Amino acid sequence: MTALLELLKQKQKELKLNKEKETSNKERGKKNVFSKVEEINGRKIYHTKIFNDFYTFGISKNEPTKFFISLRGIFNIEQISMFHLFSTREDDAFLGIYYGIKKLEKAFLVKNFNKRETYTLRKCEYIEFRFKKGGVFCYLSGLHNLLKADKIESSYYQTLLNIVKELERELYAFYGKVLPEGGIIPKWIKKRQK
């Protein structure tokens, strides 16, 4: 009987260790949104991994000094990752949102299991949240659809465009800045669209 009890206690310890490992892996996954952090001319620049598009965003209810942005994974859109933009201090300032295209250091292979296709990303569109003392480059493969003229009528195009416009409006309001009339994204699309 005591041998059986000892075996059960040992099994319980193993299960606890496995649960602890799982939770630490989950926590590590949540915190691992950024692929690179660099310092250039005294500015700290954060680069996210490549994501598909936005899941949700807004001012945190528990901490009103934080603006959270949730992103959907590129391989699994049900995998959600999140990061925060903080309110600025006296010596820092929000300079605005900027859009661009960046050539990737290594080609990135993407498999779409729904459509049964594979494609290679050699460059990726990004949104930059620029501050006086740093910035965040948020790489989103979904922004590529906004640059295709033949996709204008699709529901995904319209939805993503509305989401990005709403993000611009809410983020500029969060930092107390005036958003340029019409927003920033339509001007960038008009300039880059093919």
pLDDT digits (tens, 9 = 90+) for 50-90: 998 999 999 989 899 999 999 998 888 889 999 999 988 88
Per-residue pLDDT at 121: 78
Give domain status of residue 155, yes or no. yes
With the C-alpha atoms ordered 62, 72, 36, 22, is the resulting torsion angle positive or negative?
positive
Per-residue pLDDT at 100: 94
Q: Are 69 and 48 in contact (CB under 8 A)?
A: no
pTM score, whole prediction: 0.78
pLDDT digit string (tens) for the chain, length 194 residues: 677 767 767 767 776 666 655 554 444 445 579 999 999 999 999 999 999 899 999 998 989 999 999 999 888 888 999 999 998 888 899 999 999 999 888 877 777 666 677 778 788 999 999 999 999 999 998 898 899 989 899 999 999 999 999 999 999 999 999 999 988 999 999 998 87
Give domain status of residue 13, yes or no. no
* Per-position DSSP letters for 130-175, written without gaps between them: EETTEEEEEEEGGGGGGG-GGGTTSHHHHHHHHHHHHHHHHHHHHT
Cα 102 from Cα 140, distance rounded (Å): 11
Per-residue pLDDT at 130: 95
Q: Where are the beta strands (DSSP E) in 27-114?
A: 34-40, 43-59, 66-73, 80-86, 94-112
Q: State the greatest distance between any 2 C-alpha atoms of the chain, in Å, as a whole number.
A: 78
Q: Which has the closest alpha carbon to 96: 129, 53, 56?
A: 129
Cα 150 from Cα 168, distance rounded (Å): 24
Per-residue pLDDT at 28: 47
Assigned token pair, 63? 């901490």
Domain count, the chain: 1
Residue 25, beta-bridge partner list: none
Per-residue pLDDT at 125: 92
Give domain status of residue 15, yes or no. no
Per-residue pLDDT at 19: 60
The three-class DSSP label of residue 104 is strand
Per-residue pLDDT at 23: 52
Structural domain of 171 = 39-192
Give domain status of residue 33, yes or no. no
Give domain status of residue 158, yes or no. yes
**139 dihedral zone (left: phi>0; alpha: psi -120 to 50; beta):** beta
Per-residue pLDDT at 113: 62
Give domain status of residue 99, yes or no. yes
Per-residue pLDDT at 25: 45
Give domain status of residue 187, yes or no. yes
Give domain status of residue 21, yes or no. no
